Every structure is written in C-alpha cells, then in structure tokens.
Amino acid sequence: MISLRDYLKSGQTTLSNLLIENYRQLGLTNDEFILWIQLYKYHESGNDFPDLAPIAVNMNCDQKEIYNLLNQLVEKQVIAIESEKNSQGIRNDFYDFSAIFEKLEVLQKQQEKKTNERSYEQKVQSLYQMFEKEFGRALSPIEYQRIGQWIEEDEYQPDLIQLALKEAVLNQAYSLNYIDRVLLSWERKNITTKQQVEEEQKRRKRKKLKNETAREEKDLPNVSLHNWLEED
C-alpha cells in the first residue's frame, strides 16, 4: 500500500469535472484525452515541453502512436505548440492548453442555450394548455394564432401572458380581447415581470380602497354637534 508521504510527494493534477464530463463532446477520443492529461500533468509541475518517451511508456504505446495522437490534438485545436525567447534570447517550445478551455466555454454556452430553449418551449406548451383548461374547451386556430402573435410578434414572455390570463379569470372575462387589453396596459406601464404585476395589483387595490373610503365618507349625513360647554 502506498504511503501518504509518497502519495503527497508525487503531486496532483487538477482537472475540472466539466472537462472530464465533456471531452467527448469536444471531439476527443479516449486516447487523445489521456495524452492531453499526461501533457497537462507535466505543465502543472512546471515542465511545459516534456519528452514524449516516458509518456509513451505510461500509456503503453510506442512513440510513433504518441506523435500521431499529438498531431490529432493539434489538428483538433485543443492544444498548440508555441515558442518564445527567454531572457538569454534562447527560443523554447511549450504547449499552450488554453484552446481546450475556450472550446469548453463555447460548448457550455451552447448547452445552456439548448436547455433554455427547451425550457421556453415547455413554457409555451404549458401556456396553451392553461388557456384550454381555464376556458374549458379546446382553442380555435384563430385563438392559437392570436396567442402565438403575443409571443412571437409582441414578444410577451409566456409567464406574463399567464398572469394576464389569471387577471382575466379573476374578473370572469374569458376573452382574448380582454387579455390583450391587460397586456397592452402593462406594456404602457413598462410592466414585464411577475413582481411588477404584483406591485401594480397592490397599487390598484390601494386606490380602490381609497376611493371606496372617500365615497363612504361623502355619503355620511351631516350631523350638527351640540357643544355642551357653551350651554347657559
């Protein structure tokens, strides 16, 4: 069994799980990725251009196969061979590993975009289903088209349209025209989020309560009050 001292003395190579989980999506084969890790191990220990012979031994390959794998890594632009002059003017070669991380960033953004697109499509589908549930019937082709125009042309978010539908249901107005007026009203007031809708509803509620209070005070009868202190 290896001792803890020997284990720590041998050093460590740190790789993100993101790279380990996605190297195949970056177009690398298993052997190519193992070679990349071998080269990166030397880079982490301060050797930026190691001899390929010990790597061939570690991978149980001949050097010709290692050179072929290295060429494939360069062709796939996940590693680059660069050179620079040192303080003595001597030019030294080194491996540049930055390209693979740039590709990984692009891949991650693409995956996030696909995830967001799937989530958005599910929201749109759920929106149509919610309309049919609240209306208690299947939507007509014209109604599908109208809702689609809100999403595609007017660029209303599905969540906002759902809130407008909820507003219509609370007022027992099962009409797309009513919902359209609600959306236009919110657009004029630059209301685009659920929080803003809730704040607008609270404002309207306060205004309604204030008007009702003022109306009740106006309807009260005028009563003359007798000042008993001034009585003879």
146 lies in the same domain as 199? yes
201-212 confidence digits (pLDDT tens): 888 888 888 877
- Range of the structural domain that residue 193 is part of: 121-203
199 lies in the same domain as 128? yes
Query: Could you tell me which residues come within 8 angstroms of residue 144 by beta carbon, excluding any fewer than 6 positions away?
Result: 128
Q: Is residue 161 part of a domain?
A: yes
147 lies in the same domain as 196? yes
pLDDT, greater one: 149 or 225: 149
Q: Per-residue confidence at 89, pLDDT binned at 50, 70, 90?
A: confident
Q: Are strands 80-85 and 91-96 parallel, antiparallel or unpaired?
A: antiparallel
Number of structural domains found in the chain:
2
Q: Is residue 228 part of a domain?
A: no
Q: Per-residue confidence at 166, pLDDT binned at 50, 70, 90?
A: very high
Contact 82, 98 (CB under 8 A): no
Q: Is residue 146 part of a domain?
A: yes
**pLDDT exceeds cutoff 70 at 21:** yes
CATH number, domain at 84? 1.10.10.10
197 lies in the same domain as 157? yes
Q: What is the pLDDT of residue 213?
A: 75
Q: Is residue 219 part of a domain?
A: no
132 lies in the same domain as 178? yes
90 lies in the same domain as 129? no
110-160 confidence digits (pLDDT tens): 999 999 999 999 999 999 999 999 999 999 999 999 999 999 999 999 999
Q: Is residue 1 part of a domain?
A: no
Nearest-angstrom CA–CA distance, 186 and 176: 15
Q: Is residue 105 part of a domain?
A: no
29 lies in the same domain as 86? yes
Number of Cβ within a 10 Å radius of residue 46: 6
CATH number, domain at 178? 1.10.10.630
Supply the pTM of this predicted model: 0.70
Q: Which amino acid is at 133?
A: K
Q: Is residue 231 part of a domain?
A: no
Q: Is residue 186 part of a domain?
A: yes
Q: What is the mean pLDDT of residues 45-72?
A: 95
83 lies in the same domain as 150? no
199 lies in the same domain as 126? yes
Q: Per-residue confidence at 179, pLDDT binned at 50, 70, 90?
A: very high
pLDDT, greater one: 86 or 125: 125
CA-to-CA separations, 147 to 76, 152, 156, in angstroms, rounded: 46, 9, 10
Q: What are the beta bridge partners of residue 92?
A: 84
